[in-house]
Amino acid sequence: MRETPRSQGTAGDSRAEPPQPRPGRALAHTTGASGSGTPHRSDGRPPQTPRGVRHTGPAGRLGTTPPVPRRPASPFPALLTLCVALFTLITWQVAANGPLRSLDERVELRIAGHGPQALADRLADLGSMQVALPVLAVAVGYALRHRRGTDALYAALTMAAVPALVVPLKALIDRQGPLTEVVGFYPSGHTATAMVAYCGAALLVSVRLMPVAVLLTVATGIGLLLRGYHWPLDVLASCCLGGALLLISSMGRRRSSSRTPTGCSGPS
């Protein structure tokens, strides 16, 4: 049997030469400039970050420390500051008989008694305890059923804070009503009750109901103004007061939920 003859270039050559690279083909690793065998990419880019540029971790080892995720800043403190500032400004203007109070009284005397009075009465009644409290009570029961006792407690305490703050303020400011000589109209208890009850219920059941809660609060204020039961600043100040109470309640609930272990928290 005849053997395939070896090429003359390799048959008589006693020295083994490394294979030569073919044209148009890149090698994954080539010998570095110093002959140390350092790998290089075929496109000329360095294979990794140079050692002098790499950052060390906490233990002094090479590598980069991943960034620690931070919770986004809550807008609640800024909103709370705004509500308190507006309430303080309005209260000062009403108590000191300032220019805002004069403008407030001119506006109310123009709109009081206008519009459908029967409808205005129904809207004003939305802020009564007989209407607003049952709505909040149903939401509290819903929260308790879903084992959210802390949320229900905060909602109940927020509602209890409304008369605790409004009644002393009415006696302190002693403002006369638009169409009566009776005093004690600042701030509006109906507006604060509506806002805390309806918005608090929305927070307990579903945030998607918040537009409905805001609409009911605005409707309450419109009814009070059309019937001449309150001045506009009475209603606006109560919105600021109710907003501040809801924000304080929400901040307290968030702190409580962050302290509760994940496995012990109820369904949201």
CA 258 to CA 86: how far, in whole Å? 30
Q: Which of 241, 247, 255 is nearest to 150 (CA)?
A: 255
End-to-end CA distance of the chain: 87
Report residue 132 CA to chain centroid gap.
25
Whether 145 shows a pLDDT value over 90: the answer reads yes
pLDDT, tens only, 37-83: 555 555 555 556 555 555 555 555 555 555 656 666 788 899 999 99
Tell me what pLDDT residue 268 has: 36
**pTM higher than the cut 0.85:** no
Q: How far lies 255's CA from each of 91, 205, 249, 260, 264, in Å?
A: 30, 19, 10, 9, 15
pLDDT, tens only, 73-107: 788 899 999 999 999 999 999 999 999 999 999 99
Q: CB of 151 within 8 A of CB of 196? A: no
Give me the mean pLDDT over the 233-258 stretch: 93
Tell me what pLDDT residue 114 has: 86
Please list the helix, strand and coil fractions of the chain in percent, rounded to the nearest 5, in that order. Answer: 60, 0, 40
pLDDT, tens only, 153-184: 999 999 999 999 999 999 999 999 998 889 99
Give me the mean pLDDT over the 100-126 stretch: 93
CA 167 to CA 241: how far, in whole Å? 13
Tell me what pLDDT residue 50 has: 58
CA 77 to CA 203: how far, in whole Å? 18
Helices 117-125 and 210-227, packing angle to 10 deg? 130
Q: CB of 186 within 8 A of CB of 175? A: yes
